[in-house]
Structures are given as C-alpha cells and as structure tokens.
Amino acid sequence: MTRVALLDDYQDAALQMADWQSLPADVEVQVFRDHLSDEDALVERLKDINIIMAMRERTPFQRSLLQRLPNLKLLITAGMRNASIDLQAASDCGVMVCGTEGLGYPTAELTWGLILSLMRRIPHEDRATRNGQWQVTTGLGLQGKTLGLMGLGRLGSQVAAVGKAFQMNLIAWSQNLTAERAAEYDATLVSKDELMAQSDILSVHLILSDRTRGLIGARELGMMKPTAYLVNTSRGPIVDEPALIQALEDGTIAGAGLDVFDVEPLPLDHPFRRLDNLVITPHIGYVTDETYRVFYGDALEDIHAFLKGEPIRVLNPGS
C-alpha cells in the first residue's frame, strides 16, 4: 500500500480538484484540513506516509523533519519554487521533490482587490452598512496617484498594466531593474528611497531571499508619505513586521493591505487583527479554483509519473 497525504487543505477542496480515483487501487489518499506547526505532531501524523503534497509554504520541510520521516519517498510542492523545503536535506534523506505549474494572475488580481479596498474603504463601509449606518467615509480615487512597484517581474508587470488603465503614474525599483525594463511598462525607474518617498501606493512584488528579507524597515516606512498605503502580496518577512505595526499605530503611513505574514496562520493575538487602518487576507493570492486545479492536477500527474519510475518536474535531480 502506498500512502499519500494532501496537507493543509483549508478549504476542503483537494478531492474535487483532480481525479484521485485514477490512481492505482493500492494507493490510499488521505486529506488533512488542519495545520500542524509542531514537529512532533507532524511526525506522528506523517510517519507512515510515502508521498506528501505540500500546499505552498504552509508546512515547512526542513532537515530535522525530513530525517524523522523514513517512509517518505516523494514530496510534491504546489508551484516550482518553495523556500520552506530544504532540497539538499531532501536529497540526503532519499526524498524526491517535484513541483507543479501554477498561475500568476490571481495574485496580481488580489493585489488590486486590496488596493481598491483600502482606497475606497470597502471593508469599513461594508461593516458600517451591515450595522445600520450609511455612507460613513469618503474614499480616494486612483487616477493621477503614483503607484510604486517594488519589483517589476511577472506579477509586478501585471499590476503595472492595471495601474496604467487607472491612469496612475508608475514608478518602479528593484535591485536588478533597468530603466529599459521599466519603460516597457510605462514606468519610471527610481531609486529605492525615491520609491518610498514618492509612492501613494507602494506594492511589493519580490521573491523572499537573504537580500530582500527586511528590505522595508522603520527607515523606509518613515520615508513614506503619511497619506501613503503599503500593499504586500509577496512574502511577509520582506517587510519588518514590528516596524510596520509601529508605523500603522503611529500614523506614519495611512494604512496597509497584507496577504502575507511572518507567521501563518496569523496568531489570534496578533496586533494586525485589531488595527483598523489595515486590510488583511489569509494568504489567498493564489487561492482560486483555477490555480487549485493546476496544483492538484499536476500533483496527481507527478504521483502517476513517480509510480511508473518516470518522475517529472523534479526539483532536486539526483535524489
């Protein structure tokens, strides 16, 4: 019997997104909806599992955990990049890691959902209307405002295109961005400090790495306009979380829209849950039916290929 575990299926969607019955009769698929962060609890749950599908970075697989899962042979990550999986440790433990394709546009769409929610006070007006009130705020328009893009890659460029449609002024910066690349999207290349100081809305679109961790801290937030908004749909640790909390509490910036956090799920006592100049979503940038059908469909393909001895989308060759 080959045992398969699908982890962190928060929406109870996994079994509807792919034809798991196509697997051989001796393959058992088990779905876990809850999230476990304690390593001992994870080991107890997964000790007899042969194949695991990890949904993005929800459950990290570092060396200490992998070493305690001797029956694990295949680890599948949703997407082709996962910073929470130690690929070298997986190879050392004889675990093959495979990925899936994904869709880029849903995160760009959510970015605009957060921007519009902030500028037009949509969550606030929704709550007020449900409580019997009527028109309690005035919103802000986008036309003529400056949209700052920290990163102008696959996602940042999609966000830029929508900003242009709203007739916004576009500026951009990242460590490797060129003026020519920025001009392709009608954006002006500026320095990092200029990006912070000039943006009415600053949207983060960078990959988390050693050089981007903490890239936006107290200094950078202090350079922003008091009327400016920060939006982060990339990775939480790119923005120094305590510094952002302080900036929101002090009114250093007008507000923020966040889909990502240092610790996920967000702790129940986290300050972000009580700040009223903040719109938060639970890391749902990629969470759409369309994306899930790609993730789970490709994961199923990965399993079929692995069982046939012809693995595909391998992320740690030689494992």
291-302 pLDDT tens trace = 999 999 999 999
Cα(16)–Cα(4) distance, rounded to whole angstroms?
16
Predicted local distance difference test score (pLDDT) of residue 319? 73
Catalytic residue among 58, 241, 264, 270: 264
Query: What would the pLDDT profile of 90-118 be if each residue is shown by its tens digit?
Result: 999 999 999 999 998 999 999 999 999 99
Domain boundary assignment for the chain: 2-103+288-307, 105-280
Predicted local distance difference test score (pLDDT) of residue 297? 98
Cis ω before 265 (30° cut-off from 0): yes
Predicted local distance difference test score (pLDDT) of residue 318? 76
Predicted local distance difference test score (pLDDT) of residue 105? 96
**Percent of the residues in the chain that have a pLDDT greater than 90, as a whole number:** 98
How crowded is residue 44: how many other Cβ atoms within 10 Å of its Cβ?
12
End-to-end CA separation in angstroms for the chain: 22
- Looking at 3.40.190.10, 1.10.3260.10, 3.40.50.720, 3.40.50.2000, the CATH number of the domain 2-103+288-307 comes to 3.40.50.720
| Torsion 299-304-308-310 (CA) sign | negative
Predicted local distance difference test score (pLDDT) of residue 317? 87
Predicted local distance difference test score (pLDDT) of residue 62? 97
Catalytic residue among 56, 121, 205, 235: 235
120 catalytic? Reply is: no
Q: Check for a shared fold between 2-103+288-307 and 105-280.
A: yes
Query: What would the pLDDT profile of 272-290 be if each residue is shown by its tens digit?
Result: 999 999 999 999 999 999 9
CA-based R_g, the chain, Å = 21
**For residue 103, what are the CA distances in angstroms to 18, 59, 260, 292?**
16, 21, 18, 9
Predicted local distance difference test score (pLDDT) of residue 80? 96
Q: Work out the mean pLDDT of the chain and round it to a whole number.
A: 97
Predicted local distance difference test score (pLDDT) of residue 123? 97
181 catalytic? Reply is: no
Strand partners, 204: 150, 232
Query: What would the pLDDT profile of 123-165 be if each residue is shown by its tens digit?
Result: 999 999 999 999 999 999 999 999 999 999 999 999 999 999 9
Class of domain 105-280: alpha beta
68 catalytic? Reply is: no
Cα(282)–Cα(84) distance, rounded to whole angstroms?
18
- For residue 4, pLDDT beyond 80: yes
Query: What would the pLDDT profile of 13-55 be if each residue is shown by its tens digit?
Result: 999 999 999 999 999 999 999 999 999 999 999 999 999 999 9
